[in-house]
Every structure is written in structure tokens, then in C-alpha cells.
């Protein structure tokens, strides 16, 4: 089922670091993913993976069990969705480095997001994480090792001293860690190819990239979630990567979670335009330049941020994006197919649709404002049911008679 899509692989990103779905829900949506045109999943477990042994502290209280991971993989296989696990190994390490026992491995002591690449223990840590994840994903053709947004790299004390040496640069420091992680993956799991986000590679000169040896070890994933991405610039970037020796490239768009850190409703039109731009990028290069595309669906911007749109809210956008990539555009017949898949009479691209979105709108926009109005302006609430009273859980019984009718309106 390839239609006229230039993307052989079409992966849906499951970001589990916020509001992770129950396995029973995944059993319901995987068939829909397949029907819409997906043939793979990029699963970003973060703290939802059942790490064991000395890594057990990384797992969330409600992490999936090993049997649930196996069930997810079984469900994916039943629906012809190839699974690519993602393990962060450099930046976005908050869920690891927030723990006091591992805080000494931070690049900058005050910030838990970036791993110190100078410590041998750092590579041992991510190596152990990789091995545990791969143990539950035998036969995985790819492993995504992250390496995006490595903020504050070069600002730790060890890095400052290292950078004082002649010819040492932040780019070289970044490449050396990426190479070490990729080499570890290939040594321990030779049938698995490492993938990396590309943002830390974009500005590195061609000669440095080529000389680093990294292009022979990893496949970069070019990501851009904007509705007006620079098509020509992306084509030039792909050409640069090919000249450096990267054998395969990937693209990454977004179907949700990329338009606001606290976004509640998914702007379908924005994400549709993003897919259209990526189709243009694919058309600018030789056939099969891009191995595939990942439709990212972020649940949080990082481990400590609030939730943005939840997966159920983003399903209509995912349907539009997948079908557009599969069919090579979004015409009326594609729109009709999406409506049929979703079981809705009419799809609003420029507005918001579905009962779920209507509920989010009601709660997020209308109910919140009425509650705020009541909490801050009603004399009975401000006088007898203030934040002081609510924290201490006491209220004059008589005042309940005044407050309750308004709360139930």
C-alpha cells in the first residue's frame, strides 16, 4: 500500500513521556494506523520502559511491564507496523540525570538535560540502557539514539578544559560522543543501524563530518515541524549529508505537539502544510534519498513541561497527514477517505472537529474561564472558600448552600 508516496517507510511516533496510552488503547488504534498508511512505529519510551537492576530508578511508577512491552510489539506485528525503539543518549536526559545518584554525570551540574561526554561512566550508562531496550526488541533493524538539542554542551568544567586544547571544538566533542554511542550499538547489535536527530549536525562543516567517521555509522533524521519550512534549504542539507558519506537519510514531520508547549487542540491545517512541504523536499532529491518519514506526535516538550495535545485529540490530524503522505497530496478524494476512516460526516481542516475536540474545547476554554470567574469574583468563594480554606479542607457549612448552586451551573 504505497500509493504515490516518495516515503517507503512511514512511522508514527509514540512519545510515552507524557500520558502514555494503555496497551488496550494501542490495540484499538494500531489497526487504524495501518489502515491510514503507516507501516512502522518510533516508540520513545523514556521512563515508561521497565528498566531493571541498577537502572531500575529510571522507570516511572506506572511504567510498562516487560509483558506489556511484548504485547505492544505483538500488536504492532499483527498490524504490520515495524517498531523502532528510541533511547536518548546525549540530550533530553532529564529522566535519567534528575536522579541524585546520577547527577554527577551532568554536563553542567545545575542542568539535568545533557550528559557529560567526558566520563567513561556516561557511555557505560547509555550502553546499559541500550542493551536493556534491545533485549526486549530482538531483531530491530533500527535503534534511534536521539542526540538532539544537546543544550549547554561544552559548558561543563571538563569540557571547558578540553576545549582549551588546540583543534578541539564543540562540533568535535559532539561527534565523538555520537560516534562512541553508535559504535557501541553496532558492536553489541551488529544487525541494528543507529538513527540520530540531525539538528546537532546541521552546522558542522562537511570536511569535519566526513573526517569524523560518523556518516558511516548512523542515519540522520532531518526534522522540521513548521508549516513553511525552507524546501530549498532542506534539499541543500540533504545534498551536504550525502557528500559527507551518509548512506541513508530520514525525514521527520509532526502531526501534533509542535505548535505550543501547552497546546490543547491540534491545528490540522498547520500539520497538513508541514507534510506538503516535506513532499516537496522529497521531490527535490534523487529517488529513495529519504529512507522514510517519521510523523512525530509530542506529548511534552521535555520531561518537566506540561502536557500538550494528547494522542486521541491528534488522531484526526494524524489521519490527514498519513493519507496525504501516502497519496502524495490532499485532494477531495483523500479528504473523503479520511472522513470514512474516522467515521465522521465532515472534516474541518481549518477548525477543530470530533466529539473529543469539542470536549477539550469545552473544558479548556469555556469551563476554565467560568471556574476562574467564580474563584476570584464570587464573594462567598473568596470569603469562605479561598485557597487557604481549600488547602486546609474546611468550610462553613452554611456557605456551601451559597457556593454549591453556582458550582453546579
The residues annotated with a catalytic role in the active site are 149
Nearest to 117 by CA among 209, 207, 179, 49: 179
Q: What is the CA radius of gyration of the chain?
A: 24
Cα angle vertex 236, ends 221, 196, to 5°?
Answer: 15
- Residue 117, C-alpha cell as written in the block: 561526554
Q: In angstroms, rounded to a whole number, what is the distance separating the alpha carbons of residues 228 and 259?
A: 13
Strands 290-297 and 142-144: unpaired
Nearest to 72 by CA among 8, 20, 128: 20
Residue 400 burial class via C-beta count within 10 angstroms: exposed 0-12, middle 13-18, buried 19 and up:
middle
Q: In angstroms, rounded to a whole number, what is the distance separating the alpha carbons of residues 65 and 49?
A: 8
Secondary structure element (H or E) that encloses residue 11, with its range? strand 9-15
Nearest to 311 by CA among 295, 326, 291, 327: 295
85 three-class SS? strand
CB 103, CB 96: distance < 8 Å:
no
Amino acid at each position: 500500500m504505497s500509493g504515490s508516496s516518495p516515503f517507503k517507510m512511514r512511522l508514527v511516533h509514540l512519545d510515552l513521556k507524557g500520558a502514555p496510552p494503555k496497551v488496550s488503547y494501542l490495540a484499538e488504534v494500531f489497526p487504524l494506523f495501518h489502515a491510514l498508511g503507516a507501516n512502522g512505529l518510533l516508540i520513545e519510551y523514556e521512563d515508561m520502559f521497565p528498566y531493571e537492576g541498577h537502572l531500575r530508578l529510571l522507570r516511572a511508577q506506572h511504567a510498562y511491564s516487560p509483558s506489556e512491552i511484548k504485547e505492544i510489539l505483538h500488536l504492532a506485528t499483527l498490524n504490520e507496523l515495524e517498531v523502532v525503539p528510541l533511547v536518548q543518549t546525549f540530550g533530553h536526559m532529564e529522566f535519567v540525570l534528575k536522579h541524585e545518584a546520577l547527577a554527577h554525570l551532568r554536563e553542567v551540574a545545575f542542568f539535568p538535560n545533557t550528559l557529560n561526554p567526558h566520563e567513561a561512566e556516561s557511555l557505560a550508562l547509555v550502553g546499559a540502557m541500550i542493551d536493556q531496550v534491545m533485549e526486549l526488541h530482538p531483531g530491530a533493524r533500527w535503534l534511534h539514539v536521539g542526540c538532539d538539542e544537546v543544550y549547554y554542551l561544552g559548558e561543563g568544567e571538563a569540557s571547558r578544559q578540553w576545549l582549551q586544547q588546540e583543534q578541539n571544538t564543540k562540533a568535535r566533542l559532539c561527534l565523538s560522543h555520537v560516534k562512541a554511542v553508535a559504535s557501541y550499538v553496532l558492536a553489541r547489535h551488529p544487525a541494528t543501524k543507529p538513527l540520530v536527530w540531525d539538528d546537532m549536525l546541521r552546522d558542522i562543516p562537511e570536511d569535519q563530518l566526513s573526517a569524523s567517521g560518523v556518516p558511516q555509522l548512523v542515519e540522520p533524521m532531518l526534522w522540521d515541524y513548521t508549516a513553511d519550512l525552507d524546501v530549498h534549504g532542506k534539499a541543500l542539507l540533504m545534498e551536504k549529508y550525502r557528500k559527507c558519506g551518509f548512506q541513508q537519510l530520514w525525514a521527520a514531520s509532526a502531526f501534533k505537539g509542535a505548535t505550543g508547549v501547552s497546546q490543547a487542540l491540534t491545528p490540522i491545517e498547520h500539520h497538513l502544510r508541514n507534510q506538503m512541504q516535506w513532499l516537496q523536499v522529497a521531490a527535490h532529491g534523487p529517488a529513495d534519498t529519504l529512507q522514510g518519514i517519521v510523523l512525530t506526535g509530542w506529548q511534552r516538550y521535555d520531561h518537566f513541561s506540561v502536557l500538550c495535545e494528547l494522542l486521541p485529540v491528534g488522531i484526526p490530524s494524524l489521519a490527514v497527514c498519513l493519507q496525504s503522505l501516502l497519496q502524495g497530496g490532499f485532494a477531495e478524494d483523500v479528504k473523503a477517505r479520511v472522513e470514512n476512516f474516522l467515521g465522521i460526516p465532515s472534516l474541518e481542516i481549518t477548525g477543530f472537529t470530533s466529539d473529543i475536540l469539542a470536549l477539550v474545547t469545552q473544558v479548556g476554554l469555556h469551563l476554565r474561564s467560568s471556574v476562574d470567574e467564580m474563584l476570584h469574583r464570587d464573594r462567598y468563594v473568596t470569603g469562605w472558600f479561598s485557597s487557604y480554606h481549600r488547602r486546609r479542607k474546611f468550610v462553613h457549612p452554611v456557605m456551601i448552600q451559597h457556593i454549591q448552586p453556582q458550582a453546579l451551573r
